Amino acid sequence: MLDSLDADTCRELLAACPMGLLLIDAEGRVEWMNDTLREWLGDDANVILGQPAEAAPEALAPLWQDEPAVTLPPKHEGDEPMWLLGHTHRLADGRRLQYLADQSPMKLLLQERDDLLAELDELTVTDADTGMPNRRALSAQLATEVARSRRYGNPLSTVIMRLDRLEGSAEAIRQVLISIRNLLNEQRRWADTIGRLDDNEFLFILPETGLEAARHVAEMTAERLQKLMQEDDTIQVAARFGVSEWQKGDDIGLMMVRAREDLEANG
């Protein structure tokens, strides 16, 4: 079948190919390109024709690479960049033919996906591993409780629990965290908020609770955790606690700073 195609027909087919085609000679100079690639490159098509990679504009230099990936700048204000992905075919005489496809629609879809995932992450208030409130939810709740204490003068305390020696595979750590979550939820009062602050830290927000009562909560949690480890030898962690009480003029930052200072003092 191919034998029946004459040279003019082959040239017409190559020129009309919806993919960009770029022929690079054995010395690395652009020998030929089809009409599709000319249209994509615009004025830059004549700039690179007959030239090696060193003479090309920086944005077009990847055209000479094997399996090229090239981002063409917008031709007009308001246009999107064009994203080309290529495949390299080496000829027996040392020349290379670059097949280039416009993957801009896929690039835009991937960018939209990433943007949506980022927006979703901004809205997420639940820790993925434990199902507990995450840092964002804890910050919002603590701000609410601080505002209430400012208005009414009610006592308010926080407890940071840091777990040391939290080691093992991701799944093993997740199982340990779930066991600890269950322990914390069992002792939580209806008004309390307990969540995962960081990889190895939990935060207790304790409304209507003074400093000594908060320290008692920390001590009770340590005892319950010790008992849990005795009952389940797959859980072997060390817990440290830092406690702070709201004081007049405090914001959430000051409360957290004092809790961390207390945590470090107990290290």
- Asked which of 101-105, 193-197, 245-249 is least confident by mean pLDDT, the reply is 101-105
6 or 211: which leads in pLDDT: 211
Residue pair 156/142 in contact (Cβ under 8 Å)? The answer is no
Summarize pLDDT for 13-47 with one digit per residue, the tens.
877 788 999 999 999 999 999 989 999 999 899 99
Domain extent at residue 100: 2-107
In a domain, 117, yes or no: no
Work out how many domains the chain is built from and give that number: 2
At residue 205, the pLDDT reads 96
- Look up residue 171 and give its two tokens: 């799944």
The secondary structure of residue 74, as a DSSP letter, is P
Asked if residue 217 and residue 147 are part of one domain, the reply reads yes
Q: Which residues pair with 202 in a beta bridge?
A: 161, 196
The CATH code of the domain that includes 94 is 3.30.450.20
pTM over 0.85: no
Asked if residue 150 and residue 79 are part of one domain, the reply reads no
The CATH code of the domain that includes 241 is 3.30.70.270
Residue 10 has pLDDT above 80, yes or no: no
Asked if residue 157 and residue 49 are part of one domain, the reply reads no
Asked if residue 79 and residue 150 are part of one domain, the reply reads no
Summarize pLDDT for 140-182 with one digit per residue, the tens.
999 999 999 999 999 999 999 999 888 888 888 889 899 999 9
At residue 123, the pLDDT reads 65
In a domain, 119, yes or no: no
Q: What are the DSSP calls for 247-262, one per residue?
A: -TT--HHHHHHHHHHH
pLDDT confidence of 121, banded at 50, 70, 90? low
d(CA 201, CA 256): 13
At residue 107, the pLDDT reads 80
Residues 6+ apart with CB under 8 A from 30: 22, 23, 24, 48, 49, 50, 51
Asked if residue 170 and residue 103 are part of one domain, the reply reads no
In a domain, 148, yes or no: yes
Summarize pLDDT for 37-96 with one digit per residue, the tens.
999 999 899 999 999 989 888 889 999 999 999 988 887 777 788 899 999 999 999 999
In a domain, 202, yes or no: yes
pLDDT confidence of 2, banded at 50, 70, 90? low
At residue 122, the pLDDT reads 63
In a domain, 115, yes or no: no
In a domain, 251, yes or no: yes
pLDDT confidence of 234, banded at 50, 70, 90? confident
